[in-house]
Amino acid sequence: MSNENKTHVSDEIKPYEPDQIDSYSGFEDWLYPDNDKRRNRANQLMNQCADMLNNIANLKIETDKKLDHVSKSITDVYKTVNKVPDMEKISLSNSLWVVVIPKVAVTSIFITTSALAYKMGERMAVTYLLRSGRIGEAALTKLVGLPRWLKFGTGAASGVAGALVAVGIEVALDAIIGADTRSKLNNAIKDLAKPRIEFKYVELLSEYMSKGLESTMMEVERVKLKAKKHSYSPEKLETELKEAVELSIELYKELNSIPTVRDALNDLNKKDNLLNAWRDEDQKDPTVLTRIVEEIEVKYKNPNQL
């Protein structure tokens, strides 16, 4: 019987599968010419996340200073009536961020303390501790859904003192799930899409809180001047202070809308437009972006969901 028509396993043509040699030789990039764009976009998203985290950490420090200023100003006002204000300890994030502030201002400054404000404070505190090198990325990964493969250099290790710097995508590539470089880069971009929007949202909320305290600081200073000028009684002073702080918060909220997740996405889109960014794999499908926005909105409205 002739063997001419028999098919041998060795004769079968299998689909091409890239190997490590191809990855290093650049052959896979030849097969997928958009890989350079994917690399650039992944690095861009990673660096933007690092920049936002640094700004959030700075805003945490700034907010602490403003709260201290408010406390000192109120204490100085009480000196005009030879009294010391009662103080109260307020937790903005479990034991991660605790402030002590005059009791007369607590109910007004933190009148908006809710699941949203608490989660914002938690993320500000964790980001600050991460940049300080006191905790690792795992704590932030739990809160924001940060990709486990994403790592940051801190302090001297980052080469930039006091700043977080994302490691390059080439360094992180081995830790990303995927059969080849193209799929790894694609997954990296998709992994970063949601946390990037959430970081921007937290950044906007942090700025909102910090700026809101400025109006409170001005109102406290105004009461301080009036108390000296009109020789307020202790009772009159306390009433004026509480009302001034409450009105400052109400006026600020009336003139400045609380940032939304959609605001965060719009800000990022403007940035991408300025950079002429390649967005084929993280911004192309509006239904995916809408789903991400809705998921983040639910997350910050639900006090039981991190």
pLDDT-based confidence at 9, cuts 50/70/90? very low
Predicted pLDDT at 19: 47
User: CB neighbours (10 Å) of residue 23?
Assistant: 15
Report the alpha-carbon distance of residue 237 to residue 239 in Å, rounded.
Answer: 5
Tokens representing residue 151 in the block? 């790592």
Min mean pLDDT across 5-9, 44-48, 69-73, 266-270 is at 5-9
Per the domain annotation, does 52 fall within a domain? yes
Taking CA atoms, 190 is separated from 46, 288, 299, in Å, by 12, 10, 19
Q: What are phi and psi of 18, to 5 degrees?
A: -65, 145
Which domain range does residue 247 map to? Answer: 30-301
Residue 186, CA atoms < 13 Å, CB-side half-sphere: 10
Instruction: Count up the domains in the chain and report the number.
Output: 1
pLDDT-based confidence at 296, cuts 50/70/90? very high
Per the domain annotation, does 25 fall within a domain? no
Per the domain annotation, does 48 fall within a domain? yes
**pTM of the shown model:** 0.83
What is the mean pLDDT of the segment spanning 17-40? 63
Among residues 280, 287, 236, which one has the least CA distance to residue 41? 280
Per the domain annotation, does 188 fall within a domain? yes
Per the domain annotation, does 10 fall within a domain? no
Tokens representing residue 103 in the block? 């009791």
| Residue 240 · residue 227 · CB < 8 Å | yes
Predicted pLDDT at 240: 92
Among residues 138, 130, 172, which one has the least CA distance to residue 155? 130
pLDDT in tens, 81-124: 899 999 988 888 777 888 888 888 776 666 454 667 778 888 99
Per the domain annotation, does 16 fall within a domain? no
Predicted pLDDT at 107: 63
Per the domain annotation, does 2 fall within a domain? no
Q: Is residue 18 scored above 60 in pLDDT?
A: no
Per the domain annotation, does 19 fall within a domain? no
